[in-house]
Structure 1
Amino acid sequence: MRLQRLHLQGLRCIGDLTLDLDPGFNVLVGANGAGKTSVLEAAFLLSHGRSFRAGARDVLIQRGAAGLSIFSTVVHDDGTVHRLGLGREGARWEARLDGEHVAIGDLIRECAVVCFEPGSHALIAGGAEERRRFLDWGVFHVEHEFLPTWRRYQRALKQRNSLLRSGSTLDDRLLSPWESELARAGEFIDQWRRSYLDALLPFLRKQAALLLPELGAVQLRYRPGWPEDEQLATVLVAQRSRDQSRGHTTSGVHRADWSLSFEHAPQREHLSRGQEKLVALICVLAQAWLDAERRGEWPVVCLDDLASELDQAHQAAVVQSLQGASAQILISGTEPPGVLGSVSVKMFHVEQGYLAPLL
């Protein structure tokens, strides 16, 4: 799939901006703070319903603007064309698909975007929530029942937590229905996650061999959020008293995590900050390759500030990895990456939130 045209209004420093994008490499250059990253952020918002920038929710809307809007025409590899729209006024998001109001989940299903950006190292060095988000986005795009199942799980989790905090005596008649729902939905989510990670591992190994061959063989560990040798339903009953004292449910798929280890770096602490970034990039590229295989078309690949995040050798390796793909790629930087010299690109100069002619 590709974004044919991207139109932004009121997003950060961007007042009104339209880009007609190339199906291949698109490079946005400009000074720091010019709005380059906001263009990539807009594509990511259409695909995830959230920004990749930490703490971004309260500052997404341009100062003085009533709201923001993002529109794009999406062309799928089978020739299907859809018009996507995402807008926000205050705290309320509104999604449109071909002019009709839809749930954000329906919008996200039509638009797949992966992104590597300066904060991506949190996928490796940050908390488990970031890794669950990465995992669940991938599962969402291949398992159509994932979202309704996840919503059932969250509803049951909220109800169980409310009962735990009520201060009343634990009543099996009240807790049992919600625990049964948690266990049923949780088992499905766990199975889908395991299956997805099993499929992702060969792509992780291929990208690791390209970007970090010195670290040796890659292993992946998944922790479901409760003891591997027990059933979630049994664990929930056994932990009622402990969970009541803590005021929340301490076991379940909402506590899951996964991690990568290498033959010559078996623990995350063995990685340098630069290697953490490269491992995060390996994950992003592997997810893009798997998504392309599973769905039959490539997601849009965004690489924010590529030249400042990677040295020349690793930039060249990334370009080499993507040149063999039929992916639309958006790259930002203060200058065009030198490794793109032999690649056909469409260049945009972003200046103070506007497109300016290239000199």
Structure 2
Amino acid sequence: MLSRLVLTDYRNHAATTIVVAPGFVVLAGDNGAGKTNVLEAVSLLAPGRGLRRAALSAIARVEGGGGFGVAATLVSGDEVATGTLASAPERRIVRINGATATANALAERFSILWLTPAMDRLFVEPASERRRFLDRLVLALAPAHAHHAARYEAAMRQRNRLLADETPADPTWLGALEGAMGDHGAAIVAARRATVDALNDRLAGAPGGFARAGLTIDGGEEDDLARRLADGRRRDAAAGRTLVGPHRSDLVVTHLDKGQPAAISSTGEQKALLFGIVLAHAALVADRTGRPPILLLDEVAAHLDPHRRAALFDALSGVGQVWMTGTEAALFAGLPGTAVQFHVDAGRISRH
């Protein structure tokens, strides 16, 4: 969990400090007050570009000095660490207990997963969005997944540039890049498959309350990828991109109780399927690592009736630290008394 969060020149937060506890953390306030900015800051402690996927330069406060800082005190059992993220201005700088660390180092200490209103369309968006969602699930169980994904993407970009060059590429160099893609691609595929299998086991026995999802991976699991890449150089050069590999796969989700694809389910059913996946994943991470993930749920209660809100809050109880935002504090009246609630107004935060 996080016990303390400090934002400096972060979007509309000039200097914000939040002290929280285990369980529920609620941020309530008007649209544009800065609630989601806080969740985004927490999400940037995980590998990647956060829940908005924004450029670092777009995050720094307009009236600030061009950079920003996020400092978090992390508590795991008896261990307490301080993680710091800063930008200068387009370079991501990570420190743990004052020592410079890699961008992915914090993922070894805790995991973060989020749901935002934009993700309500996950099942009808392009396959890249579902791959990104799946990879965040994988990362919580296999922190090395970020390394393999980064190395695979880097090798693929270099290969694509070589194939696009009018000068014939050195076949030895191409072979080395394709070998790296094959090795890292195999690790990516194995980690994704293991996560999907474990989630399916968990979802099959999930209690009622949320739609049950079935997960499969479609495509991208080619055998002997390095050879297939070598054989497809002419084809990929003509296409201007690499046409085989795990970057082409898709996460296919089925509404098990109705036996239909999530893509043709109702909006409410799609949201329920997402909730079910996230809750199953949180329980899986807690069982495997002993550390429940931090959940960031943006505007999660806005379109739920009181009965479904109560069911959601009940399901979230005990799964770890859960950060939620909403425009009205009344939306969270059903939470236990231990919930920590804040009011957000124009980048200023006060305790309820």
- The normalised TM-score by structure 2 is 0.90
- Which letter does structure 2 place at the counterpart of 1:222? I
Unmatched runs of 5 consecutive residues or more in structure 1: none
Match in the other structure for 1:73:
73
2:167 & 2:94 partners in 1: Cα distance? 41
Residue 282 (structure 2) aligned to one of 281, 284, 288: 288
- After the TM superposition, which of the residue ranges 88-97 and 127-136 deviates more from structure 2? 127-136
Match in the other structure for 1:154:
153
String of CA shifts for 1:183-217, please: whole Å, max 9, x gaps.
122112211211111011133345584212xxxx6
Match in the other structure for 2:217:
222
Alignment of 1:145-224 (within 5 A): 145-169=144-168, 172-206=171-205, 209-212=208-211, 218-224=213-219
1:342 & 1:168 partners in 2: Cα distance? 64
Q: Quick check: 2:56–2:89 contact (8 Å CA) kept in 1? A: no
Q: Which has the higher contact order (CA 8 A, sep 6+)?
A: 1
1:19 & 1:34 partners in 2: Cα distance? 15
Aligned residues: 349
Alignment of 1:1-359 (within 5 A): 2-53=1-52, 55=54, 57-66=56-65, 67-77=67-77, 79-169=78-168, 172-206=171-205, 209-212=208-211, 218-225=213-220, 230-263=223-256, 264=258, 266-325=260-319, 327-338=320-331, 340-341=333-334, 343-344=336-337, 345-356=339-350, 358=352
Q: Quick check: 1:305–1:331 contact (8 Å CA) kept in 2? A: yes
* SS at structure 2 position matched to 1:33: coil
String of CA shifts for 1:218-277, please: whole Å, max 9, x gaps.
4322124155xx532342233222111012211111222211112425234421223222
Divergent runs of 4+, >6 A = none
1:252 & 1:126 partners in 2: Cα distance? 20
Instruction: Provide the identity percentage.
Output: 32
- After the TM superposition, which of the residue ranges 68-77 and 201-210 deviates more from structure 2? 201-210
- Which letter does structure 2 place at the counterpart of 1:70? V
1:272 & 1:162 partners in 2: Cα distance? 42
String of CA shifts for 1:84-127, please: whole Å, max 9, x gaps.
11111321111111011111111333232222221222432222
- Which letter does structure 2 place at the counterpart of 1:84? G
Q: CA deviation at 1:131?
A: 2.2
The verdict on how the C-alpha distance between 1:117 and 1:207 changes in structure 2, with shifts beyond 3 A counting, is: farther
- The normalised TM-score by structure 1 is 0.88
1:240 & 1:55 partners in 2: Cα distance? 33
* SS at structure 2 position matched to 1:211: coil
The verdict on how the C-alpha distance between 1:149 and 1:304 changes in structure 2, with shifts beyond 3 A counting, is: closer
CA root-mean-square deviation: 2.4
Q: CA deviation at 1:347?
A: 1.6
1:301 & 1:188 partners in 2: Cα distance? 26
Q: Quick check: 2:27–2:35 contact (8 Å CA) kept in 1? A: yes
